Amino acid sequence: MNRMMAIGFGAAAFCALAGSSFAADPAPAAPGTQASVAPAPAAPVADLPMVPPAKPGVFTATKKGATGYHLVVAGHKFTSRDDIEKYLAWRAADLTLSDKGTWFTFTQIRTKADTVPVPKRDPGAPRHSFQMANFQPVWRYKVKGADWKSWSPYSGAAFFADGIKAEDITDFEASADVVVRKGVMDDADPLGYEAGAVSDLLINQVSPPV
């Protein structure tokens, strides 16, 4: 009698466990319907470039001699001098690296009327020459109802956009002449910039103008 009762209790326990297992499984779809399926995980998105690509006409690089370039950044929506000049410096570094160079020199385009002193060689300058203040492009610009005008950082005159509303500037160009160089950088050159270091410095700070 006791043995029969033990068998009965064992069977009941097995049925209870089986019932809970069946309840955990999804119910079969009704005839004529399609069972819902969990969506597949989205495919990984390709890494986007850290600096957005420039639209046509925003950046141009014209070869000058064997290793020189004339660089121009142009746009219609003026943001700030710092934004645009940093973007031009980053393009100079990126171009140098693309040309298998290690550093580049910035060439100041001066006239006899310029009054700002020429920077002197400095053996104690910071390593990699993070002297961005010496990277000074020249500018052309237009304001509403006027023709193109020029501004040089070596003239001693205030920056052209000082005192002008940004929305009144309809067109602008910032240009720089650079020479791509290879080998060990001349750290004493106040107009020398190590391309990789400049790129690392600016890559998270710049976007092309529009």
Instruction: Give the containing element (helix H, strand E) for 177.
Output: strand 169-181
pLDDT recorded at residue 20: 40
Instruction: Give the containing element (helix H, strand E) for 197.
Output: helix 195-202
What is the spatial distance between Cα 118 and Cα 38, in angstroms, rounded to a whole number?
Answer: 68
Tokens of 48: 């986007």
Residue-by-residue DSSP string for 80-91: -HHHHHHHHHHH
pLDDT recorded at residue 9: 39
Contact between residue 121 and residue 199 where contact means Cβ atoms under 8 Å apart: no
What is the spatial distance between Cα 27 and Cα 22, in angstroms, rounded to a whole number?
Answer: 9
pLDDT recorded at residue 85: 98
Q: Is 144 exposed, middle or buried (0-12, 13-18, 19+ CB in 10 A)?
A: exposed
**Does residue 8 carry a pLDDT above 90?**
no
**Does residue 192 carry a pLDDT above 80?**
yes
pLDDT recorded at residue 41: 54
- Each residue's pLDDT tens digit, 39-98: 555 544 456 789 999 999 999 999 999 999 999 999 999 999 999 999 999 999 999 999
Q: Which residue has the higher pLDDT, 10 or 58?
A: 58
The overall longest dimension of the chain from CA atoms, in Å, is 121
What is the spatial distance between Cα 152 and Cα 27, in angstroms, rounded to a whole number?
Answer: 78
Instruction: Give the containing element (helix H, strand E) for 150.
Output: strand 149-151
- Each residue's pLDDT tens digit, 106-146: 999 999 999 999 999 988 876 655 678 899 999 999 999 99
Tokens of 56: 């046509």
Tokens of 65: 């001699």
**Does residue 34 carry a pLDDT above 80?**
no
**Residues shown for the chain:** 210
First and final C-alpha spacing in the chain: 93
What beta strand segments (E) does 48-148 contain? 59-64, 68-75, 103-107, 138-143
pTM, 2 dp: 0.76
